[in-house]
Structure 1
Amino acid sequence: MTEKSDVSAGKRKTSRTRRRATVRHSAARLAAVQALYQIDFSDSPVNTVIEEFRLHRLGAADAEVSGGAKANDVLFQELVRGAISRQDEIDTHISNALDPAWPLERIAIVMQCILRVGTFELISRFDVPARVVVKEFVDLAHSFFSGGEPGMVNGVLDKLAHQLRPGELETSLEQQENSSE
């Protein structure tokens, strides 16, 4: 094998590994939303729901969305525990971003869960670009809703991204514009 083909094979492997990690992160986000829904709906203890998901559901967290990939367990637990432990703070952020005609309590529980996990990721996971967080949760909303809800998720999380990570979105837009010149 030539040096050039070795480099090419290495790039393909890295690209494949990166895609697999992305799919596992997407599956973890989906599972976290589902776990929050279960906790809210059944009033089950957080640790019980997390353990149930880890034992019975993480490997199969919505195969349609994840392509059958096993969810990233560490990310799943971080998202669930974080969204629950910081729920009051998160709900305040979401409520401030919502139109006053749509208080958080009026929104479907699944939407609340999507917004809570997305907001938690914006306020705590600075290793993940804000644009990625917004896109991931808009995609998740499309998994559950066919109406205007994904647009609402986009609007709320984009507004929060600008508030919680000032400058990040503008910087990335400037970089895109500069690279296209």
Structure 2
Amino acid sequence: MEDRKKPAGPKPANKRGAARLAAVQALYQMDVSGGGVLETAAEYETFRLGKEIDGELYREADPAWFRSVLSGVVSRQKQLDPVVRNALTEDWPLSRLDSTLRAILRAGAFELTGIKDLPAAVAISEYVDIARAFYGDGEEPRLVNAVLDRIARDRSTAK
């Protein structure tokens, strides 16, 4: 009998997953460079999503989902930060998190609080995968999972 185990390693991203990753990267870029949402979105859509850069092929992404997450986080950041802050433990204030982790949590919080009929487990899983891509199996992916899970539970009890 043949043993058919899945190969280890990260699973390939779908178009929404690739859009989520690109949105996190764009949010990080905007945070460190001070760039605006319109020019950053245009740069990603023109030169990155599904394109080859320095020999690396970026995955094809859903551009509408990318724009939705990116613009949603930017327009609702003042509402999202308290949601994320409340889901963090006291020993992990939002200000202590690095720019990448803040971008992941803000994007996840936006989807969980701002997009109706979104399966929370799918969004949480994809943002945990993004955290693993940046941080490996360290503490950060577990933090992303815990924070986004708290936000999702708060969302479901508020309905």
Output the aligned Cα RMSD. Answer: 2.1
Q: 1:92 to 1:61 in 2, by over 3 A?
A: farther
In structure 1, the residue matched to 2:75 is 85
In structure 1, the residue matched to 2:38 is 47
Deviation at 1:59, TM superposition (A): 1.0
Q: Which amino acid aligns with 2:124?
A: V
Identity %: 40
Deviation at 1:61, TM superposition (A): 8.6
Q: Considering only CA atoms, is the larger Rg found in Structure 1 or Structure 2?
A: 1
CA contact (8 A) 1:30 1:61 kept: no
In structure 1, the residue matched to 2:29 is 38
4+ runs deviating over 2 angstroms: 165-168
Counterpart-to-counterpart distance in 1, 2:52 and 2:93 = 30
- Relative contact order (alpha carbons < 8 A, sep ≥ 6): 1 or 2 greater? 2
**TM-score, length basis structure 1:** 0.75
Structure 2: state its 5+ residue gaps.
Answer: 1-11
Q: 1:60 to 1:30 in 2, by over 3 A?
A: farther
In structure 1, the residue matched to 2:124 is 134
Deviations 1:61-90 (A, max 9, x none): 99xxxx954100000000000001000111
CA contact (8 A) 1:61 1:70 kept: no
In structure 1, the residue matched to 2:17 is 26
Structure 1: state its 5+ residue gaps.
Answer: 1-19, 169-181
Counterpart-to-counterpart distance in 2, 1:102 and 1:54 = 34
